[in-house]
Amino acid sequence: MQRIGIIDLGSNTVRLVVFDVERHFGRRLRPHEFREVLNEKTVAGLSAYVVDGVFTSAGIKRAVGALEGHLVSARNVGCKQMYVFATAVLRNCSNSKQAVREIERATNLSIDVITGEEEAHLGFVGASITQPLGDGLLIDIGGGSTELTRIEGGRDVANTSIPQGSVSSYARYVSLVFPTPDEREAIRKAFATQLGNAPQLGRNLQAYGVGGGVRAVAKMVGCMAGREKAVKQLAPESVASVLALLDRDPSQFAHLAVKAAPDRLHSLVPSAIILQECLAAVGAESLAMCKYGLREGYLLERVLS
C-alpha cells in the first residue's frame, strides 16, 4: 500500500488529493486498486495575480501559502510522498521559470509544469480508468485554458490546448459577477476564434467531460431540475438553458448558482459559453461526465508508471 499526495496547482484552485494505492507496477490501474483518503481545495484565484503577463510576487506568496496549507493536511493523514504539478497559470506567464523556482525554494517541493498537450493527454488517461472511452471528444475547461482530446479506437489521437478558460475569460471580459449579454458575446467570439484555429476535431462526436468547469455546469443543470447533484449527462439544450435562465430571470439564476457552484460563481457562465461552443463545433448530441480526470491520470502515468 502506498499513500501518495497529488497537488494540482491551477489557475483558480489549488487542490490536494491523497490516494491509497494498491497495485503492481507495469499494469493498468483499476478503480478498486486506489481510493481517496483526502480531497481538499483552496480557492486561491492565482490567475488574478498575473499582471501584464507576469506572475506577481503577491501571487507567488499566495501559491506558497496554499501549498503549505495542503502540506500540513497531507502530513496529518500520514502522507509522505508528495507530487505537485502546475497548469496554465504558471506555464503561460512570462516569468514562469523564476516563479516556479521561488515557489519551490519556499516550500521545498518540486513543481512539474505540464504543457497544454500533456494536460489534455493526462485528462484522457484519468477519464479512461473506469472504462475505455468510445470515439469522441474529451472536454476539460480549466481556469486558464481549455483542453480538447480527440479519441479514436480507445486512444487519444490529438490533444489540443486552447489558452482561454473560465477564469481567464472572466478576468478579461467581465466587469461584475455575471457577464452582460455583450460580455458573453465577447467571450464567445474570442473562444470561437481560437477554436477555429485548432486542429480538425471531427463531427458528430460523442463528448465526454472532466474538470471543474464542466462539472460546475452539470451541477447548475441539476440544480435547475431540482436535484442535489450534478447530472451525469449533458445535452446542448441543457447548457443553453443555463444561459437562457440568466437572460430570463437573473435573480433566480443567481440564487440557483449559489446553491450549485458557490465557489465558481464568477466562472460558471464563461464555462457554459465555452462548453456550448465546444459541443457545437463537433456537433455533439450529448456529453457524458467522467468520474476521474487529470489528477488520476497524473497519478497513473507520472507517478506509478
Model pLDDT for residues 275-300, shown as the tens digit of each residue = 999 999 999 999 999 999 999 999 99
Number of Cβ within a 10 Å radius of residue 78: 9
DSSP string over 3-57: EEEEEEE-SSEEEEEEEEE---TTS---GGGEEEEEEEEEE--GGGGEETTEE-H
91 close to 115: Cβ distance less than 8 angstroms: yes
User: Could you tell me if 171 and 285 lie in one domain?
Assistant: yes
213 close to 274: Cβ distance less than 8 angstroms: yes
Mean pLDDT of 79-93: 96
User: Could you tell me if 81 and 198 lie in one domain?
Assistant: no
User: Could you tell me if 172 and 227 lie in one domain?
Assistant: yes
**127 found inside a domain:** no
Residue 171 has pLDDT above 80, yes or no: yes
Mean pLDDT of 216-244: 96
CATH number at residue 76: 3.30.420.40
If pLDDT is split at 50, 70 and 90, which confidence band does 1 have? confident
User: Could you tell me if 108 and 206 lie in one domain?
Assistant: no
**238 found inside a domain:** yes
User: Could you tell me if 298 and 254 lie in one domain?
Assistant: no
**121 found inside a domain:** no
**123 found inside a domain:** no
User: Could you tell me if 86 and 136 lie in one domain?
Assistant: no
User: Could you tell me if 87 and 151 lie in one domain?
Assistant: no
Q: Which residue has the higher pLDDT, 65 or 202?
A: 65
If pLDDT is split at 50, 70 and 90, which confidence band does 199 have? confident
**27 found inside a domain:** yes
User: Could you tell me if 166 and 266 lie in one domain?
Assistant: yes
DSSP code of residue 264: G
Domain interval for residue 47? 2-116+293-303
How far is it, in rounded angstroms, from Cα 271 to Cα 215? 9
User: Could you tell me if 275 and 297 lie in one domain?
Assistant: no
- Percent of the chain whose predicted confidence (pLDDT) is above 70: 98
Sign of the dihedral through C-alpha 86, 215, 154, 274: negative
**87 found inside a domain:** yes
User: Could you tell me if 96 and 212 lie in one domain?
Assistant: no
CATH number at residue 255: 3.30.420.150
User: Could you tell me if 140 and 112 lie in one domain?
Assistant: no
Three-class SS state of 215: helix
User: Could you tell me if 70 and 195 lie in one domain?
Assistant: no
**126 found inside a domain:** no
**179 found inside a domain:** yes
> Domain tally for the chain?
2
